[in-house]
Amino acid sequence: MAKRYDNWYVSKVDVGLNAEGRIEAVERVLTAPEASKSKKEGRRLAAMTMARMTALGIENLHLNPPDHKKYSRLLREQNKRNKVKKMTKADLAVILADDKELTQDGQKD
């Protein structure tokens, strides 16, 4: 029986230019490893998921073999990129001041 994170999963690679103008590739995990009884069945299920995503028009998909370390590393990096800064009262005050200026100038309905 395959362990929870020891099975096939689907990821996507986004390629673009960073702030310095260099080419940068970022890999994102799209699915959790398929929870099945065998790795063969997990591969089949992950391949079906990948086929559905391809049919939806999602490009640059990859079917990844079981590798717990790589999967965990990708999730950690992904969580770091997606951290959201909490809004403070000072941030809210700036937004409200800008909104008030726009309404006074008659630019906003």
Tell me if 79 is assigned to some domain.
Answer: yes
Distance CA 39, CA 30 (A): 18
- Write out pLDDT tens, residues 3-62: 556 789 999 999 999 889 999 999 999 999 877 778 888 899 999 999 999 999 999 999
Tell me if 57 is assigned to some domain.
Answer: yes
Q: Could you give the strand order of the β-sheet that contains 9-17, starting from the edge strand earlier in sequence?
A: 23-29, 9-17, 61-64
Tell me if 100 is assigned to some domain.
Answer: no
pTM to 2 decimal places: 0.69
Tell me if 69 is assigned to some domain.
Answer: yes
Distance CA 25, CA 7 (A): 24
Distance CA 7, CA 28 (A): 17
> What is the domain count for the chain?
1
Write out the two tokens for 47: 């391949």
- Write out pLDDT tens, residues 72-101: 999 999 998 888 888 899 988 998 888 888
Write out the two tokens for 50: 């990948």
Tell me if 50 is assigned to some domain.
Answer: yes
Tell me if 105 is assigned to some domain.
Answer: no
Tell me if 75 is assigned to some domain.
Answer: yes
Would you mind telling me the total number of residues written for the chain in this entry? Answer: 109
Q: Are 8 and 33 in contact (CB under 8 A)?
A: yes
Distance CA 92, CA 89 (A): 5
Which residue segment(s) compose the domain that 36 sits in?
9-84
Tell me if 91 is assigned to some domain.
Answer: no
